[in-house]
Structures are given as C-alpha cells and as structure tokens.
Amino acid sequence: MGPWKRVEPTEVKKIGWRTVVTKNFLLPDNKIHEFHTINREETHSVGVIALTKDNQVITAYQYRPGPEKLMYEVPGGGVEQHDVDYQAAALRELREETGYVSDVVVHLGDIHKDAYNNGTWHYYFVADCELHEDGQDLDPHEYVDVRLITIDQLFENARSCLMTDTEAVFLAYDKLMDIRHGK
C-alpha cells in the first residue's frame, strides 16, 4: 500500500464561487482514474475555540445554507491566498465575526475534513478574550449573533449536530475539560 501517483491533466471548473478540481491518479491497477474534488488546491480555513476571561465559549450563532438550520459555530472562515500566517488570520476572524480580541492563543492542530476536499482547517485555542470597542465587522450576507455558552453546552451542541467544526472540540477536549474542572 503506497501513495497513488498524481498525473496530468488537472481540470478546474467553477460553479459560482464553488470550485471543483478533477484530479487524475495512477492507481494500483495501473490505470488512470479521475476524482472530482472540492475547493481549489491550497485552500485554507481557520477556526477558534475562544473563551472569555470567565471561561464562557464565544460562538457565532448563524444560519447555515448546507444543513439549513441555525448553528452554534466556532468563529472562523476562509483564509486569503496571500495570507500565510494562519494564527493571525484566526485572531482576525474572531475579531471580525464576534468583536472579541485576545493575544493568548495556541495552535490546536490541523484537519482535513473530507477525503475529497482539498482544504485544510487550522484550529486555535484562544483564552482571556475581551470585547473590543469596535465590535463586529461582518462581510456582506454574513449575519452572526454572538452567543456566549458554557463549556458543557459546547459539548452538548457538538453531540447534537448543532455545529460544523466538531473536530475543533475534539482537538480542544482535554484543555476544555481541565478548565471545566477548575484545573
């Protein structure tokens, strides 16, 4: 069992702002097969598990067009192509989406969400957040209701299909449990 060999051609198609990249690979059967993957190659996104000074979790409550429901999301979003400092991008997304700022931040880990998605998600843990006087700075068509919830409620939401970045809760699990138990 070794890696497959990527071969040309690669075909990139866009439907609106959605990119589908058709990649070709030489498989162990010695034939070339094509796979239709989502997002342009080198797509990066960031997300934060962010806590206030009194350890409430800062969530971005918003409607999601895929699941078609309101969800308690971790703040975050897509990163611009020129933007290589993911930690800075994560803190900026936190500030823009929720109005909260902090410089107490650690990297939690990176995730590939799906076998056919080219994106990488970079997650951070941010503590001691305080509301910045400027408040939110939302993009057009972005409607975010900032909701502070308990760590228990975050776990409950993650178990109840009420957030899309559940893997961020996995990466922060031990840290959150320590805080939850006052360690």
- Answer for which of 73, 93, 96, 97 binds a copy of itself (CB under 8 A) is 73
CA dist 85 and 181 (Å) reads 33
Q: Taking contact as CB under 8 A, which single stretch among the options 18-26, 83-91, 92-100, 124-132 is the one that binds a copy of itself?
A: 18-26
- Answer for which of 8, 65, 103, 181 binds a copy of itself (CB under 8 A) is 65
Interacting residues with a copy of itself between 119 and 148 (CB under 8 A): 119-120, 141, 143, 145
In the three-class reduction of DSSP (H, G, I as helix; E, B as strand; rest coil), residue 61 is classed as strand
Question: Two tokens at 42?
Answer: 């080198």
* Nearest partner of 94 among 131, 65, 119, judged by Cα: 131
- Answer for which of 26, 63, 85, 88 binds a copy of itself (CB under 8 A) is 63
Q: How many residues bind a copy of itself (CB under 8 A)?
A: 61
Question: Two tokens at 91?
Answer: 């803190």
Question: Two tokens at 77?
Answer: 């979003």
106 forms part of the interface with a copy of itself (CB under 8 A): no
Assess contact for 78 and 71: CB atoms under 8 A. Answer: no
Tally Cβ neighbours within 10 Å of residue 98: 26
Q: Least distance in Å: CB of 62 to a copy of itself? A: 8
* Nearest partner of 36 among 19, 17, 22, judged by Cα: 22
112 forms part of the interface with a copy of itself (CB under 8 A): yes
Binding site for a copy of itself (CB under 8 A): 1-4, 6, 13, 15-18, 20, 22-23, 25, 27-29, 33-38, 61-71, 73, 109-120, 141, 143, 145, 158-161, 164, 166-167, 169-171, 173
